[in-house]
Amino acid sequence: MSKNVLIIGAGGFVGGFIADEALRRGYTVTAGIRESTSRRYLADSRIRFLILDYENPEQMAEAIAGAVPEGDAYRLVYNLGATKCTNFADFNRINYQYLRNVVEALRMARRIPGRLLYMSSLSALGPGDERTYAPLTGKTIPAPDTRYGVSKIKAETFLET
């Protein structure tokens, strides 16, 4: 069986690194990007491109169904997100609603990945204890103190359901 990975949000520096590492490990890489996304970090000719409209689950479902193997024969790395926005509505739309739309599209296309890696942020937990420097653990209660962090924990919580 060939190894396939779909990287949603592959256009930035981190996404480009993920694509390069997946290629190095022998994966067939499909980069899910917007039409307007820069391909600066996606220069390897082996990368396949899948144009997605994150506002439109139906378009994404059709595109994904035509590009991704059926069943759980692929991996999904979800790296899409915005770290800087002028208002909470943009954080919420990009970091939370787009994730919901992608999940809806995957369900409609019947292309649920065998594995999902969701790239989040420590901001979803909020500031650590700067008095004792106690390590963060799986039992740490999230207390994000930025709009960005709130949008990321909201997305994480959605994935847990």
pLDDT digits (tens, 9 = 90+) for 7-66: 999 999 999 999 999 999 999 999 999 999 999 999 999 999 999 999 999 999 999 999
C-alpha separations of 106 from 82, 93, 151 in Å: 21, 18, 21
% of the chain residues with pLDDT over 90: 87
Do residues 96 and 147 touch, judged by C-beta distance below 8 A?
Answer: no
What is the reported pLDDT for 35?
A: 94
CA 131 distance to own-chain centroid: 33
Cβ partners under 8 Å of residue 141, min gap 6: none
The model's pTM is: 0.92
How far, in Å, CA of 158 to CA of 75, rounded? 19
What is the reported pLDDT for 129?
A: 86
Q: Mean pLDDT over all residues of the chain?
A: 95
How far, in Å, CA of 6 to CA of 78, rounded? 8
- Among 2-11, 75-84, 103-112, 126-135, name the one with the lowest average pLDDT: 126-135
Do residues 81 and 54 touch, judged by C-beta distance below 8 A?
Answer: no
How far, in Å, CA of 138 to CA of 145, rounded? 19
Backbone angles phi, psi at 118, to 5 degrees: -100, 120
| Residue 1: pLDDT over 80 | no
More confident residue, 15 or 72: 15
Please state the rounded mean pLDDT for residues 89-111: 97
Q: Quick one: CA torsion of 65, 71, 73, 78, rounded to 10 degrees?
A: 60
Which pLDDT band holds residue 72 (cuts at 50, 70, 90)? confident
Could you give the domains of the chain?
4-160 (3.40.50.720)
| Residue 95: pLDDT over 80 | yes
What is the reported pLDDT for 130?
A: 87
More confident residue, 105 or 1: 105
